[in-house]
């Protein structure tokens, strides 16, 4: 045992205070950082080729993907939670507590959760938020059961012999119906346009004297779409098909369009919807293909065997070489083979002319003007639509010579005043009773009064038990 040295203790106390004070400064600066991230996210600063704000953060400032997603999520959440944001900006609560609280906080419950973050340690806040989510999930389950029980569809004859349809579906079944109706509307639309053009030219030559047809209203289109859905379902014997087939996209595209998107020609999805020439080039980049040739009268003349655009052996080598999407900062493992020079324009299906791209970035290259070329040394260069190259690794940011001094000066300019106890929780060592805290604070167990004056609860949240 060493003899106690009062000098050493006071030195260590000072060091501890310094750590606590600098931490509060860093939390205050984090609030400003999150403000910037939110603005950057809202204004789409990352959408120059990145999948998300998190992917950009990960690439640009070296956060691991999970931490980057959390930053972006917390930044967005704080946009609607001004009290939590302000407490972080004053260095009064830590980012760790804010990260936990924003998982459940809403503008209505923010005040109560702010009291929790002030009173408890980061671990307390984590536990309370877990309990809070459990109550929320139970409420969700009850709601889902209620929706399931209330589902129903009545189909009954109206006064005039027409059929009236009225119903209620669960959200996911409703989403399926909406997708089916939308697909059916889109499929009816080109037919309608074709009909309109034919009748239009007929009227012009004076053969048919019908007045110009009014375009159908949305409810009328929905009704037609529902009929098409019913016809299609009966035609296919109510067989929804294998999951892979259900969403398979078949594109009929004329060869000149594949070679050059500016060429006139048709690109049509199997259900009749037109897609842009650039989209059909992307879909054809890595696909099965059947070559059909039509003669001058449009009759199908010759049909080749079904072949993969990229043979299996080359695909395996491509995956082994690229591992995942090659777009800077991406690396998503599920990726498609992209022909740097499209096969329809004579580009060979060789490793040097191929690169793996995820679906998001494959679209960026074909449809959004991003460019990709392979240099003579084999490396890839990606460019934004304006021609600027996107570096694989961004330039490191300029760091001030004395970061701490800069931090304190910037905080002073933002009127942040902190000391070594700004971040200290109000907790005095009492046992935490999560169930009690949830009972007092959760709006499902203790509804929030309309009158904001009766908010927050009078009881300090962590001082239970």
Q: What's the closest the beta carbon of residue 386 comes to Zn ion, in angstroms?
A: 20
Q: Which is nearer to Zn ion, 87 or 285 (CB)?
A: 285
Q: Which is nearer to Zn ion, 46 or 327 (CB)?
A: 327
Q: Is 336 helix (H, G, I), strand (E, B) or coil?
A: strand
Q: What's the closest the beta carbon of residue 284 comes to Zn ion, in angstroms?
A: 8
Q: Choose which of 59, 95, 132, 327 interacts with Zn ion (CB under 5 A).
A: 327
Please state the separation of Cα 17 from the chain's center in Å.
Answer: 42
Helices (H), 151-212: 171-204
Q: What's the closest the beta carbon of residue 336 comes to Zn ion, in angstroms?
A: 7
Q: How far apart are the first and last CA of the chain?
A: 39
Q: Which is nearer to Zn ion, 49 or 425 (CB)?
A: 49
- The reply on whether position 132 binds Zn ion by CB under 5 A is no
Contacts of 139 (CB under 8 A, 6+ apart): 444
Q: What's the closest the beta carbon of residue 351 comes to Zn ion, in angstroms?
A: 15
Residue pair 282/366 in contact (Cβ under 8 Å)? The answer is: yes
Q: Which of residues 64-93 bind Zn ion (CB under 5 A)?
A: none
- The reply on whether position 310 binds Zn ion by CB under 5 A is no
Total chain residues near Zn ion (CB under 5 A): 8
The CA–CA distances, whole Å, from 86 to 42, 61, 79, 113, 427 equal: 20, 25, 11, 14, 21
Q: Which is nearer to Zn ion, 95 or 327 (CB)?
A: 327
Q: Which is nearer to Zn ion, 38 or 361 (CB)?
A: 361
- The reply on whether position 318 binds Zn ion by CB under 5 A is no
Please state the length of the chain: 465
Q: Which is nearer to Zn ion, 365 or 423 (CB)?
A: 365
- The reply on whether position 325 binds Zn ion by CB under 5 A is yes
Burial of 335 (0-12, 13-18, 19+ CB in 10 A): buried
Helix (H) or strand (E) holding 15: helix 6-42
Q: Which is nearer to Zn ion, 22 or 332 (CB)?
A: 332
Q: Choose which of 25, 185, 361, 442 interacts with Zn ion (CB under 5 A).
A: 361
Q: Which stretch binds Zn ion (CB under 5 A): 279-287, 384-392, 398-406, 445-453?
A: 279-287
CA–CA distance, 384 with 238 (Å, rounded to integer): 47
DSSP for residue 49: T
Q: Choose which of 89, 100, 330, 354 interacts with Zn ion (CB under 5 A).
A: 330
- The reply on whether position 358 binds Zn ion by CB under 5 A is yes
> For the chain, how long is the longest CA-to-CA vector?
114
- The reply on whether position 277 binds Zn ion by CB under 5 A is no
Q: Which is nearer to Zn ion, 325 or 438 (CB)?
A: 325
Pull the structure tokens for residue 256: 């000149």
Q: What's the closest the beta carbon of residue 330 comes to Zn ion, in angstroms?
A: 3
CA angle 20, 22, 28 (to 5 degrees): 105
- The reply on whether position 338 binds Zn ion by CB under 5 A is yes
Q: What's the closest the beta carbon of residue 208 comes to Zn ion, in angstroms?
A: 46
Q: Which is nearer to Zn ion, 29 or 257 (CB)?
A: 257
Half-sphere exposure of 127 (CA within 13 A, CB side): 14
The CA–CA distances, whole Å, from 152 to 149, 155, 157, 163 equal: 8, 10, 17, 16
Q: What's the closest the beta carbon of residue 246 comes to Zn ion, in angstroms?
A: 24
Q: What's the closest the beta carbon of residue 281 comes to Zn ion, in angstroms?
A: 7
Q: Choose which of 285, 310, 437, 448 interacts with Zn ion (CB under 5 A).
A: 285
Q: What's the closest the beta carbon of residue 344 comes to Zn ion, in angstroms?
A: 11
| Residue entry with tokens 């700004």 | 422
Q: Which is nearer to Zn ion, 118 or 339 (CB)?
A: 339
Burial of 36 (0-12, 13-18, 19+ CB in 10 A): exposed
Tell me which residues touch Zn ion (CB under 5 A). 285, 325, 327, 330, 332, 338, 358, 361
């Amino acid at each position: 045992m060493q003899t106690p040295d009062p000098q050493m203790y006071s030195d260590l106390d000072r060091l501890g205070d310094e750590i606590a004070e600098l931490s509060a400064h860093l939390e205050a600066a984090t609030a400003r950082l999150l403000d910037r991230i939110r603005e950057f996210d809202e204004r789409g600063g990352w959408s120059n080729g990145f999948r998300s704000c998190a992917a950009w953060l990960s690439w640009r400032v070296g956060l691991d993907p999970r931490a980057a997603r959390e930053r972006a999520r917390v930044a967005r959440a704080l946009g609607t939670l001004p009290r939590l944001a302000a407490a972080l900006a004053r260095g009064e609560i830590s980012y760790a507590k804010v990260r936990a609280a924003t998982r459940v906080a809403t503008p209505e419950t923010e005040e109560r959760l702010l009291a929790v973050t002030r009173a408890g340690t980061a671990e307390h806040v984590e536990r309370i938020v877990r309990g809070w989510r459990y109550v929320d999930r139970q409420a969700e389950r009850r709601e889902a059961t209620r929706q399931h029980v209330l589902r129903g569809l009545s189909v009954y004859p109206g006064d005039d012999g027409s059929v009236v349809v009225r119903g209620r579906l669960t959200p996911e079944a409703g989403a399926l119906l909406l997708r089916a109706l939308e697909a059916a509307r889109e499929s009816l639309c080109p037919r309608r346009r074709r009909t309109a053009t034919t009748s239009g030219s007929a009227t012009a030559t004076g053969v048919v004297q019908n007045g110009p047809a009014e375009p159908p209203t949305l409810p009328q289109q929905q009704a037609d779409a529902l009929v098409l859905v019913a016809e299609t379902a009966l035609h296919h014997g109510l067989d929804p098909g294998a999951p892979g087939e259900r969403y398979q996209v078949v594109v009929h595209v004329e060869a000149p369009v594949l070679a050059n998107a500016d060429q006139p020609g048709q690109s049509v999805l199997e259900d009749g919807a037109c897609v842009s020439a650039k989209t059909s080039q992307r879909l054809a980049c890595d696909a099965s293909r059947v070559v059909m040739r039509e003669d001058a009268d449009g009759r199908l003349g010759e049909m080749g065997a079904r072949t993969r655009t990229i043979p299996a052996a080359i695909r395996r080598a491509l995956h082994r070489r690229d591992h995942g999407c090659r777009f800077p900062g991406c690396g998503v493992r599920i990726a498609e083979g992209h022909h740097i020079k499209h096969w329809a324009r004579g580009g060979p299906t060789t490793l040097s002319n191929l690169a793996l791209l995820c679906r998001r970035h494959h679209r960026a290259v074909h449809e959004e003007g991003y460019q990709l070329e392979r240099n003579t040394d084999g490396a890839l260069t990606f460019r934004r639509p304006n021609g600027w190259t996107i570096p694989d690794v961004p330039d490191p940011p300029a760091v001030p010579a004395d970061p701490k001094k800069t931090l304190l000066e910037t905080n002073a300019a933002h009127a942040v005043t902190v000391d070594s106890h700004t971040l200290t929780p109000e907790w005095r060592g009492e046992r935490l009773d999560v169930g009690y805290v949830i009972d007092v604070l959760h709006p499902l167990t203790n509804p929030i009064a309309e009158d904001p004056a009766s908010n927050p609860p009078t009881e300090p949240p962590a001082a239970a038990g």
